[in-house]
């Protein structure tokens, strides 16, 4: 099992999203939501996944989506099971990723 955690300033993600070319390299169209704090949480979740894996891959290899219940989950074509938790408060968003290895 491996764990990764990341925290990001929400304003940093707002700046990133202001450039459509950069935003499109980080987030797929089905990940976009209006709430900037939620987008920052998704950004932190992807960074946490990279840390848990011990390597950076393409940002679009992992989609951070939400179940009907509101629970976030990771959609990926990779044969790995990733659990995430995301939170945001004030100026920051934070996420943790847990990858179970077989």
Query: 43, exposed or middle or buried, with CB in 10 Å at 0-12, 13-18, 19+?
Result: buried
Q: Phi and psi at residue 91, in whole multiples of 5°?
A: -90, 0
Name 1's Cβ contacts closer than 8 Å, sequence gap at least 6.
98, 99, 100, 101
Instruction: State the pTM of this model.
Output: 0.94
Q: What is the pLDDT of residues 52-78, one digit of tens each?
A: 999 888 999 999 999 999 999 999 999
Percent of the chain residues topping a pLDDT of 70: 99
Taking the domains of the chain in order of start, what are their residue ranges? 2-100
Element (H or E) spanning 5, and its range? strand 2-9
pLDDT at res. 102: 59
Fold topology of 2-100: Ribosomal Protein L22; Chain A (3.90.470)
């Amino acid at each position: 099992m491996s764990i990764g955690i990341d925290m990001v300033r929400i304003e940093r993600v707002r700046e990133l999203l202001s450039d459509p070319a950069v935003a499109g390299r980080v987030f797929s169209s089905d990940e976009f939501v209006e709430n900037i704090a939620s987008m920052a949480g998704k950004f932190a979740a992807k960074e946490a996944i990279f840390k848990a894996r011990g390597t950076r891959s393409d940002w679009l290899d992992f989609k951070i989506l939400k179940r009907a219940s509101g629970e976030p989950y990771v959609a990926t074509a990779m044969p790995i099971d990733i659990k995430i938790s995301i939170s945001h408060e004030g100026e920051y968003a934070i996420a943790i990723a847990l990858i179970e290895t077989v």
